[in-house]
Amino acid sequence: MVQFKRKKGESFEAFLRRFNRRLQQSGKLYEARSNRYRQPEKNEIKKKQSALIGLKLRKEKEYLRKIGKLEEGHRW
C-alpha cells in the first residue's frame, strides 16, 4: 500500500493532483474498476452439480416430448 503525505507548504489541490496522477500511473484504479463486477469462478463440485441439473432437465423435457405433453417447437 502506498502512502502519500503532503509536502511542507503544498496546497491541498496540488496534493490531490499529485495523488490522482500517481494513482492512475500505478494502474490500481484501472484494475479495481475492471474487477468490480467479476464473478468468482465456480469450483469443480458446483460445475458438476449444475451439469447434472441440466442433464436431468433435458431428460424430463425429452420424456414429456415423447409422451406428447410437450410440443416439438415449444420452449420450456
9-64 per-position pLDDT tens digit: 999 999 999 999 998 999 988 999 999 999 888 899 999 999 999 999 999 999 99
Same domain, 46 and 73: yes
Same domain, 51 and 70: yes
- Residue 42 contacts residue 50 (beta carbons within 8 Å): yes
Domain that holds residue 56: 40-76
Look up residue 67 and give its three cell numbers. Answer: 409422451
What is the predicted pLDDT for the residue at 31? 92
What is the predicted pLDDT for the residue at 74? 56
Same domain, 73 and 53: yes
* 46-62: burial string, b at 16+ Cβ within 10 Å, e else: eeeeeeeeeeeeeeeee
What is the predicted pLDDT for the residue at 4? 84
Q: Any idea of the CA torsion for 61, 66, 71, 76, to the nearest 10 degrees?
A: 0
The total number of structural domains that make up the chain = 2
Least confident of 3-7, 18-22, 51-55, 72-76: 72-76
Q: How confident is the model at residue 71 (pLDDT cuts 50, 70, 90)?
A: confident
**How far is 56 from 76, CA to CA, in rounded Å?**
14
Same domain, 24 and 53: no
Same domain, 21 and 31: yes
